[in-house]
A and B are shown apart, each in its own frame.
Chain A
């Protein structure tokens, strides 16, 4: 990226060099990447070339995932569409309708064979040959298979596309499925959430466009930068959980103090997502469900969201804090604990064990699996 590229980028994005470097640094931080990665991403956008083509399909959905992009600020939808990608098919935004828009899609997929990014929003009904969702007289099942055939990468955006979402809940009247289930053998990036966080999508796309490969995924196809930890592990109400301080009903004294929502049925302990880390809508300071006093209902997690009752207790996957904390300055492999320190540690461990035991006791004392809200 030379001076000329930078000047051109400043003009194109209408942003100062400082601002766009800040923007990419923020994006890299969301993904847990280094400042080197931020520069690489800036370069990928700065050096003028054809904008990568995106084909976006809508299945059984509520347009929630698309709506999240309307609310994104880094980047905004405007910058995404005008400067970063070429969104060649998207039913909510396409100006044309009917056969015009279908023809535009066909033409783009042919011209960009093997190079376009396919994004799917919504689940795919498979019952009765897939008739429960049709576009241009063709089922969503056919549309998805056809578009996946020559896609460079496939992203399932939202819980519906990732694992079926709300309509796959029992009795799943239309046999709704996630994208990966109808595309065996294909790699599908799953970005669940209802709706999903737009930054998990934008960061995945930028990663792919910059490095030419997908970010590291877990066994369920979810990027580790967004779904590598339980909500509970990074929740700022976690200390209340460890200390045994719980809200028992909306508006009670504990609730008014911002205590842990576990006893109200919070599914943070069994839901993998970064809601507690990056929050929503670029507001910060508690703009996410637990921040407004409502238990997480596990919208991102298959088998939890729209499946487990809202006010039932979560299956706590990890809740015991480590018994012993290393000193901050201690390096791996060094034996940093002297006799005096060991004595001190013993006392601290005792206190921590005591607190955890207290929390466990309080949890057990409810014995109620269907807490009244």
Chain B
């Protein structure tokens, strides 16, 4: 059964993307299990890529700061008096103490808690107790906090550990052109959780870059998502798939005549009455698009930059190396996968939820960050289903019997990620620009 897609988009390109030659060789499992490969990734990927630091709304005022970790590094992101967000290594130049230990706060200056060396919001060392006592010379004007390249897009602050990094815009490539239409800068974060997972960071990335698993571990979603007519688009570094929502998968043998309960719930959520719907089930998706378009003002949203498919479908982006964005017309779920400091079999899975605030509604307070171990909290049925296999995948990958990933065509976003990864490892940087 075919799916109707928009012929012309508004801002976000909707047309089928290129299909680069990705080969068909086995993807070696050592990329997921080897400490040596993990070190290569640190040297060639994490130390060279533009990475997500925080949200602008986390540091709205002068002196607001947050800390974020990547590998062994802690970064301190600070809003300066000139309203610029700067990113520093979170380390005092005196004895190596971290300048800030907490996840965030507000400070007039950045004072180390050990001997009270004090840096201003631009990172300049401005006050050192007993400054005349240093035989190496007064450290002021010599030992500023080490700032690294940073930039902002869509309400996100990015950083790059490489002092010689190319422009963020080159690295993001197609991302702004594709995603500016969603106005992430107007969205607000409603959840901020980190889960410690016993798997490689790529094991987690892969889990969300294919819909092959939907029929197996998310059988209930077959009544809300078309997991067959999925458009996969592979760009230079990044990729996406477009998954039609609120339509029944062709995999369902007996197609329902009545509105499935899972879709009925989604209809009610936007104010449609499923009882009053007189069309056929395959027509619901387009009816919901039409309803949202016609009632956007009443719903409190402005969908004028989005095409009709974007009003209901999941435009699912993978931004290399470690961001996954489930984008919808008025909300977004972001995953950030971060490697463990030392162990290729562990990682940090950050889940951040964002919502567009309906016009006239109050802006919710920022959520507290919460870090837990796998299984300690539920992330809801779908994400719980996604996560339950992953520690076992990692254990299996470490088996002598396992050689590597045997990838299907519908899983080719995984192969595409590996191409970008290996281009970086081999020093063949690709740019979308």
A binds B: no
**A contact set with B: CB distance below 8 Å:** none
